[in-house]
Structure 1
Amino acid sequence: MSGIAVTLKKHRGLSIGLLAWLVGIVFFLPIAWMALTSFHSEADAATNPPSFAASLTLDGYRQFFGAGGGASPWPALINSAVASVFSTVCVLLLALPAAYALSIRRVKKWTDVLFFFLSTKMLPVVAGLLPIYLFAKNTGMLDNIWYLVILYTSMNLPIAVWMMQSFLAEVPVAVIEAAQIDGARLPTILARVVAPIALPGIAATGLICFIFSWNELLFARVLTGVVAETAPVFLTGFITSQGLFLAKVCAASLVVSLPVLAAGFAAQDKLVQGLSLGAVK
């Protein structure tokens, strides 16, 4: 019976592995198809059924980067990078002490505080669009990239505190108490004791906040114009009344997605470690 059980366990593990590969391939296929289409001409990209053996060209990328006299994407890409990076840094700087107060040195009714943070994400984004727009208009902050930094920071802070609270709960209290005995104050404890131990969780939180900020479209579309236009807003400009230029859109989408893919690939080890913190007690 034990041999049969081992065989069944191996077959079950093999089936789960094959299913995982199948799911991964299904999710990867649209990205691969977008990448392949970006190297086709517009005529080949518009064929139905699609032609896999069509000749490859870089015309879509040349047009995206303004070779045909179009607008340059670099200002929009730089704006997205500034808004995403600065807002993520601000979120981490604010979320770390907040999570410390909710996990290690817990304040009274800390569960209610966590629920309040989570409840702020239940409000539909479009419900807050009008007051945010009116505030920006009355304060002269329309088409200002730093207003997006503040906005993205406030949008991502609740989920960052919620995530980092669970990560910091895994930090040994004895290590913090030893640092306090040695005379370390709170900023030193957060920077030199808590942060290095919870680095995988901090990296995972930072990556998720960066992705959320980079992909945000609604507020950037309404609150920006020419000066503070972000990459997703720039990307929507390729859908015109003249039609959808598929190869050019795929090339633009791939370029805009590269920073997120590169950040995820660079931090994949920390991301896996961070997301697995607290899973095993």
Structure 2
Amino acid sequence: MSAVDSVPTTAPKKSAAKVDPNTQPRSVRRRNAALGLLAWIIGILFALPILWMILTSFHSEGDAATNPPSLTAPLTLDSYREFFGAGGGASPWFALANSLTASLVSTALVLVLALPAAFALSIRPVRKWTDVMFFFLSTKMLPIVAGILPIYLFAKNTGMLDNIWLLVILYTSMNLPIAVWMMQSFLAEVPTALIEAAQIDGARLPVILARVIAPIAAPGIAATALICFIFSWNEMLFARVLTGVVAQTAPVFLTGFITSQGLFLAKVCAASLVISLPVLAAGFAAQDKLVQGLSLGAVK
């Protein structure tokens, strides 16, 4: 073998050198430190009201109403006991169950309806699909308060006032445009070669959606589901106007602590914390899917 033949045709790749922060210019290090400190300050400012609400919920009504508020006031669970009906008040379990039912069922319906629509607008685009997307967006331009009167009259004439299934229908229609917009961008990232291969194997559209597209777009679907669940859980205007006792949701139940006798601040903070826990738990459980789904398609 000649010496030329023994020479490798490609040179070995050099590993990327890591930048030592200590070798950076002092001005760059100062700027990075200032930006880091600013980020911490902004984060603390955003978290401070939540931390204050948690602390206030463990105070008595007298200590919670002091001005200025006391940080060293004794802690108690009286507000939580009264919220859960231990003091003879109304129990929140029925309202929490209504919110959970309306949020879960409407979110499931939104996903079932939005997935085929997003498929048609991204992978198999229809003619003038941009006009269709604008139509979906235009349905969110009308404020809810502008349409609450005809919806109330319709519910009254059809006997659907104080009915949880009316809220399911309204929450589904409210979140469907957002879900279509989000999932259209997610499904646009699905390789069309996989869909064509499934079609060659004889798979029909329902099978393709369930076994090919859904696993690939799972992060985007999870992010869409979580956002729709949060919007449905936090919605109060429809629930306040269209429900009474039977279909009362958790946000409406929360307003019951604001009475003519005054604002029960400790009870409101305790109730707000308990009502926020399902959303926080869902976001914490799906945080990896949420981040992955919201960053899908971003420029890297």
Q: What TM bracket, shorter-length normalisation? A: over 0.9
1: CA distance, partners of 2:95 / 2:187 = 36
Q: Is residue 176 from structure 1 mapped to residue 216 from structure 2 by the alignment?
A: no
Q: Is residue 84 from structure 1 mapped to residue 103 from structure 2 by the alignment?
A: yes
Deviation of 1:8 (Å): 4.7
Q: Is residue 49 from structure 1 mapped to residue 68 from structure 2 by the alignment?
A: yes
Q: Is residue 164 from structure 1 mapped to residue 183 from structure 2 by the alignment?
A: yes
Match of 1:279 in 2: 298
Deviation of 1:5 (Å): 6.2
Distance 1:266 1:139, change over 3 A: same
TM-score (norm 2): 0.90
2: CA distance, partners of 1:124 / 1:90 = 23
TM-score (norm 1): 0.96
Q: Is residue 111 from structure 1 mapped to residue 140 from structure 2 by the alignment?
A: no
Q: Is residue 225 from structure 1 mapped to residue 244 from structure 2 by the alignment?
A: yes
Deviation of 1:222 (Å): 0.5
2: CA distance, partners of 1:149 / 1:164 = 21
Match of 1:205 in 2: 224
Deviation of 1:182 (Å): 1.1
Q: For 2:209, give the aligned amino acid.
A: L
Distance 1:191 1:43, change over 3 A: same
Match of 1:23 in 2: 42
2: CA distance, partners of 1:11 / 1:275 = 32
Q: Is residue 147 from structure 1 mapped to residue 163 from structure 2 by the alignment?
A: no
Match of 2:7 in 1: none
Deviation of 1:9 (Å): 4.5
Match of 1:61 among 74, 77, 80: 80
Match of 1:247 in 2: 266
Moved more, 176-185 or 227-236: 176-185
Higher fraction of helix? 1
Distance 1:121 1:236, change over 3 A: same
1: CA distance, partners of 2:43 / 2:282 = 19
Q: For 2:81, give the aligned amino acid.
A: R
Match of 1:121 among 107, 126, 140: 140
1: CA distance, partners of 2:284 / 2:201 = 39
Q: For 2:291, give the aligned amino acid.
A: V
Deviation of 1:280 (Å): 1.7
2: CA distance, partners of 1:16 / 1:119 = 39
Q: Structure 2 unaligned runs (5+)?
A: 1-21
Deviation of 1:24 (Å): 1.6
The root-mean-square deviation of aligned C-alpha atoms, in Å, is 1.4
Match of 1:37 in 2: 56
2: CA distance, partners of 1:130 / 1:91 = 24
1: CA distance, partners of 2:96 / 2:83 = 12
Q: Name the count of aligned residue pairs.
A: 279
Identity %: 82
**Equivalent position SS for 1:122:** coil
Which has the higher Rg, Structure 1 or Structure 2? 2
2: CA distance, partners of 1:105 / 1:233 = 42
**Equivalent position SS for 2:74:** coil
Q: For 2:248, give the aligned amino acid.
A: E
Q: Structure 1 unaligned runs (5+)?
A: none
